[in-house]
Structure 1
Amino acid sequence: MRKLVWLLILLVALCSAWWAAATTQMQSTVNALLDSRRAAGWDVTLKDIGKAGFPLTLQNRLSGLSVAEPNQSIAFEAPQLDLSAPVWWPGDLSARAPVAQAAFPAGALPLVLNMRNMQADLDLHPGLSLQLEQMEARSTYLEVNGPDGLLLEAEESRLRVTQSSDAANEYNIAVLPGRITPGPLLRRVLGEAIAQPGGQPILSARMAVTFARALDRHSAVAGTLPQIDALTVENVDAAWGDVALGAEGALTFDAQGIPDGVLSLRVTNWSKLLDAGERGGFLPPSMRGQVNTMLRLLEARGGTPGGLDLDLVFAEGQMVLAGIPLGPAPRLIQP
């Protein structure tokens, strides 16, 4: 009996020592990542970092965290961020924040996301490189803001990234925003009539991205993603009422980020989108008749009343839509 008691004491002591060492290592890793961003010129603020979760959870609580790149186009801020992992494998990492804000550019459009009850779960492969096996980020409430104010709100939105079983550097990505409520700007541009009779807007996207190498701890330390070599769009679907947009196809990218391939686009009730383009100032009234005539010819070619089925072709650095040259293709990597 006495030996059993001493064995239990020894086991508790070993577990306590492992918990203390592992949480300290987690803390050191977080500080090292933040220091690497500071060294790269980022503005990094962290008021405090503490330990919690004993005995079954390794947890670091970060208070007053804010990170922003030098030009402020990419930034993240959270008054409280809890990083936790089970004591038996620190590679299954979760990040939770009651409220958080993230800013990043979507092409030329700067976006600001305000999130409530944000949670991100990361599953990492055992090994020195700690390759990303799966990540799922979700938020009970998501607010998307553009330069002119609120664009949309979404409830129970999710983003899932899963490493392919066929290639370590290929990841399947699913974007599922949940219930969407358009903001005043989108309602003004698209018009309230578009929402009838189809109810709530729908948005979803599924695609596969092939990187030059697998996502791992080196990517996290560098703060940048590896080069994208290929993109396969399984589906991108957006609908509000009787107006819908869809896309699918595959693109490859060279070392300069120039795309090559075809995206097939589907548009339902394109005339209402012309109305929206004119209301939003994207289509000058003087060009409305010319564009309307061209799209009617493309509609007749496709044979779908009110719909368009178009191929957007990227080749030799140029874009061609349904045989109409559009000029230079946008580069994934900016010089």
Structure 2
Amino acid sequence: MRLLKWLSLGAAVWIVYWGLAAWGLRTGFEAWFGEQQRQGWQVSYGPMTTRGFPMRHVTRLNQPLLADPGTGAAWSADWIEFDSPALWPGAQSLRFPATPQHYSFFDQTRSVTAEQMRADLQLAPGLALELEKLSLTSQDWQISDGSGVIWQAQDLLLEMRQLAQAEQYHLTAVATHFAPRGLLRTGFSGLSPTREDLPPRFDALRLRADLGFDTPWDRRAIELRRPQLRQVNLALAEAHWGDMLFRATGALEVDETGRLSGALDLRAENWPAILDMAERLSLLPPSSRRAVEKVLALFSTGTGRAAKIDISLRFKQGQVWAGPLQLGTAPLLVLR
């Protein structure tokens, strides 16, 4: 009988704790959205529900919308779920709907449709909610605009893990069975009859790098300002599609204005076809094609599909150099 009383008391205490924690989570969400609205954001969401008793808290927000007028960035979806253990809300899993999510940046809007899309966050204890680990995974996904599908793949892994220093993170990105249909595939149709032999999927698309920021990623990254890159140690960036290969490694420093310094070692196989792709996708202006081709030809060996380039690019004082040749102005690396 005494054991039964203690069990009943423990169950009652847990019920009260679970309810208070659920109320605290809901209140926290409402307070955060309210604070963003006071700072000028456009914020809206529909009914909020919580379930998962007794071991978890699963909070669903229906019809969420966030828009930051300062950066022009906006996101909306049919719903989003926050799932965490009842004992520690800092281990959050975010689940997204299979229906389209809409992302905007100023006048550009993209729709993301993904199966079983999930983000797992491990946050450090404390008011700052410093990010220790973030992973984004998905099964079949595609990104579209008004003209149709741009990119799609059968899965995705994106992970950012905090290293020994709070501002340092290891980044991994892999998309297997990446299929450049839509705009990219259309861009190659008609280049030449030989382009029809391209495989329907990339053989490899991956990235590994250590990143150093000026501040850790925490709640202020959304509320105030994005942490800015200061170091990039690129272990590997690789895209392999048929007879085309692009691979890069190297180390870069980023100053307070976003200017790059350092060096990248690049390898490009069948680089004329890569230029064809860039021109077709409006990534390379036709007026610049001839000049770029002449410069790359200086470093090229082989011809046709066997043409390849192994080159080191140096970044200094906002300019890009290949050996003694100045190639132009380097892009600024600023996170908005």
TM-score with structure 2 setting the length: 0.87
Residues 159/243 of structure 1: CA separation in 2 closer, same or farther (3 Å cut): same
In 2: Cα distance, 1:321 partner to 1:6 partner:
79
Residue 315 of structure 1: how far off its partner (Å): 0.7
Residue 281 of structure 1: how far off its partner (Å): 5.4
Deviation digits for residues 126-179 of structure 1 (CA, Å, limit 9, x no counterpart): 334332111111122221235754211112212111111x31211111111222
Query: Sequence identity, in percent?
Result: 29
Number of the residue aligned with 2:129:
130
Q: Which has the higher strand share?
A: 1
Query: Which runs of structure 2 are paired with 1:28-177 in the superposition (5 Å)?
Result: 28-70=27-69, 73-99=72-98, 100-103=100-103, 111-146=110-145, 148-164=147-163, 166-177=164-175
- Determine if contact 2:135/2:160 at 8 Å carries over to the other structure: yes
Residue 295 of structure 1: how far off its partner (Å): 2.6
Equivalent of 1:183, from 181, 184, 188?
Answer: 181
Residues 145/203 of structure 1: CA separation in 2 closer, same or farther (3 Å cut): same
In 2: Cα distance, 1:284 partner to 1:133 partner:
41
Deviates more, 1:183-192 or 1:12-21: 183-192
- Determine if contact 1:125/1:133 at 8 Å carries over to the other structure: yes
Deviation digits for residues 240-273 of structure 1 (CA, Å, limit 9, x no counterpart): 1111111111111112221111122210011222
In 1: Cα distance, 2:84 partner to 2:286 partner:
57
- Determine if contact 2:230/2:253 at 8 Å carries over to the other structure: yes
Query: Which runs of structure 2 are paired with 1:1-335 in the superposition (5 Å)?
Result: 1=1, 3-70=2-69, 73-99=72-98, 100-103=100-103, 111-146=110-145, 148-164=147-163, 166-191=164-189, 193-194=194-195, 196=197, 200-201=201-202, 202-222=204-224, 224-280=225-281, 291-300=292-301, 306-333=307-334
Residue 307 of structure 1: how far off its partner (Å): 0.6
- Determine if contact 2:234/2:251 at 8 Å carries over to the other structure: yes
- Determine if contact 1:131/1:215 at 8 Å carries over to the other structure: yes
Q: Which amino acid in the other structure matches residue 297 of structure 2?
A: R
Residue 326 of structure 1: how far off its partner (Å): 3.0
TM-score with structure 1 setting the length: 0.87
Q: Which amino acid in the other structure matches residue 175 of structure 2?
A: P
- Determine if contact 1:74/1:102 at 8 Å carries over to the other structure: no
Gaps of 5+ in 1: none
In 2: Cα distance, 1:75 partner to 1:16 partner:
38
In 2: Cα distance, 1:183 partner to 1:287 partner:
26
Residues 93/144 of structure 1: CA separation in 2 closer, same or farther (3 Å cut): same
In 1: Cα distance, 2:86 partner to 2:286 partner:
63
The alignment of Structure 1 onto Structure 2 pairs a total of residues equal to: 329
Q: Which amino acid in the other structure matches residue 92 of structure 2?
A: L
Q: Which amino acid in the other structure matches residue 179 of structure 2?
A: T
In 2: Cα distance, 1:285 partner to 1:87 partner:
58
In 1: Cα distance, 2:145 partner to 2:311 partner:
29
Q: Which amino acid in the other structure matches residue 30 of structure 1?
A: F
Q: Which amino acid in the other structure matches residue 80 of structure 2?
A: L
- Determine if contact 1:195/1:242 at 8 Å carries over to the other structure: no
